[in-house]
Structure formats: structure tokens, C-alpha cells
Amino acid sequence: CPYCGAAFSLLDPQAVAQALAGYGAKAQRIEEGPRPVDLADALVAIERDRERAKREEQKERWKSDASTTTVDDLWSAGVELVWNVLRR
């Protein structure tokens, strides 16, 4: 056995056959390359992680920027918007 170093004659013959079949199937999957479903799952996971990181960053930014400057900027933008609408 390449993993444990035991002679194949000492191992359970059914376990050896099962292991060799598993190794063959794994080697075949590697040769075939990634399946489209696997690639799609990986892309979805990457995008999910990216969006989670973006939300956490935004949450931290809002917690740290909850100063009066942010509130004043939002207030002045709102007043300016209302003024522009009324002026027309």
C-alpha cells in the first residue's frame, strides 16, 4: 500500500479492491478536469464570500462614521434636493 506501506497480501482483498477502484475513479476525475457544476459552485461561493466581506466592511464603516459629519452631509444633501425641487 503506498499510504501505509503494508504489503497488499496482508490487507483485506475487498478493501484493496475498493481502494483501487476509488483511486481509479479519482484519477479519472482529475484527468477529465472540473465539471461545469463544480465551477459554478465555486464561482457562487467566491461571490458569496465577496458580498459578505463587502457587507461587513460597510457595516464597520457605518459604525465608525456615525459622526455628526456624516449626518450633516446627509441632511444638507436632502435639503439641497428639496430646494432644487421647489425652485423649479
pLDDT at 46: 96
- What residue ranges do the domains of the chain occupy? 1-33, 35-88
C-alpha 81/C-alpha 75 separation (Å) is 10
State the pLDDT confidence band at 32, using cuts at 50, 70 and 90: confident
pLDDT at 17: 83
- Residue 86: pLDDT over 70: yes
b (16+ CB within 10 A) / e for 33-71 = eeeeeeeeeeeeeeeeeeeeeeeeeeeeeeeeeeeeeee
- Residue 71: pLDDT over 80: no
State the pLDDT confidence band at 50, using cuts at 50, 70 and 90: very high
pLDDT at 23: 86
